[in-house]
Amino acid sequence: MMLAERQPATEVLAPPPVALDPPPVALDTVSLFFDFDGTLVDLAATPDAVVVDQRLRDALDSLAERYPGRVAIISGRSIEQLDSMLGDHARRFAVAGSHGAERRTPEDGHVAAERPASLEAAAEEFAAFAAANGLVYEAKSLGAGLHYRMAPAFEPDAVALAETLADRHGLTLQRGKMMVELRTPGDKGAALRSLIDAPTMAGTTPYFFGDDVTDEDGFEAARDLGGAGVLIGDARPTAATYRLNDVAALRDWIAAILETR
């Protein structure tokens, strides 16, 4: 369990990072925000192949009990997708899905942006491109994903198609890990700023854990609010202050804070 301090985002990162152990969070005043793919669960070959194991379910339940109202998930997945993978475990937390374009909290229930009509035409083109080239099309509540992890050589064509469709249909283009997405506007920083307004999070210091470029807004928001971002994965330019090597390291970190009295 190592929490590694990072250099400012604009500088080239120089190893080795400074190890901080135990984690520098004041556990009685902290709020924890977790990204999903690549953070709570390891990346898999396709969106549906992700494994939510018992250790994660137990950890989420324990976090919900230990930090009631002070833990949230902020994901690029739709809330519908998170529910299907996490079941009742997702309902124990505030959740922001679709890169912040939808939220579910005990106070406000499910609040979502409208699905733009133009998404249908764009989604059809993504699906046709995926079918023709052996890629994976992912239908989402407020977006459409095109995955090329199984055929990375298609990245330039997939991105070019996404750029054309985003321009034509007025959709937001979101790059991701081996994927490109067309979606409604929203960002994880705004989601964090909204979720932390909940009465249960009042006065807390936010820590945002994430791995992907879409998590950078969350890192910045956490830092601006006096907390910090924690990058999961290899060192890279980032707004995160700390870094953990991988999903396993985060799981260990969570286990450690749950053991702390």
Ligand X SMILES: O=P(O)(O)OC[C@H]1O[C@H](O[C@H]2O[C@H](CO)[C@@H](O)[C@H](O)[C@H]2O)[C@H](O)[C@@H](O)[C@@H]1O
Exactly one of 23, 30, 33, 38 binds ligand X (CB under 6 A); that residue is 38
187 is a site residue for ligand X (CB under 6 A): no
Helix (H, G, I), strand (E, B) or coil at 133: helix
Site residues for ligand X, 62-81, by CB under 6 A, read 75-77
Cα–Cα distance measured from residue 186 to residue 29, given in angstroms and rounded to the nearest whole number? 27
- Note if 167 is an active site residue: no
Size of the site for ligand X (CB under 6 A): 25
Determine which one of 21, 28, 35, 53 is catalytic.
35
Q: Taking contact as CB under 6 A, which single stretch among the options 109-117, 138-146, 156-164, 191-199 is the one that binds ligand X?
A: 138-146
Q: Is the peptide bond before 22 cis (omega within 30 degrees of 0)?
A: yes
| CB-closest chain residue to ligand X | 76
What type of residue is 201? M
Q: What are phi and psi of 192, to 5 degrees?
A: -60, -45
Q: Which residues of 60-82 are buried (b: 16+ CB within 10 A; e: fewer)?
A: beebbeebebbbbbbbbbbbebb
Which position among 92, 115, 175, 177 is part of the footprint of ligand X (CB under 6 A)?
A: 177
CB of 42 to ligand X, least distance (A): 7
CA distance 259 to 261: 6
* Residue 82 tokens, joined: 């998170």
- Which CB atom, from 15 or from 195, has the smaller least distance to ligand X? 195
CA distance 100 to 222: 15
Q: How far is the CB of 69 from ligand X (least distance, A)?
A: 21
Residues that bind ligand X (CB under 6 A): 35-38, 43-47, 50, 75-77, 138, 140, 145, 147, 149, 176-179, 181, 212, 214
Active-site residue list: 35
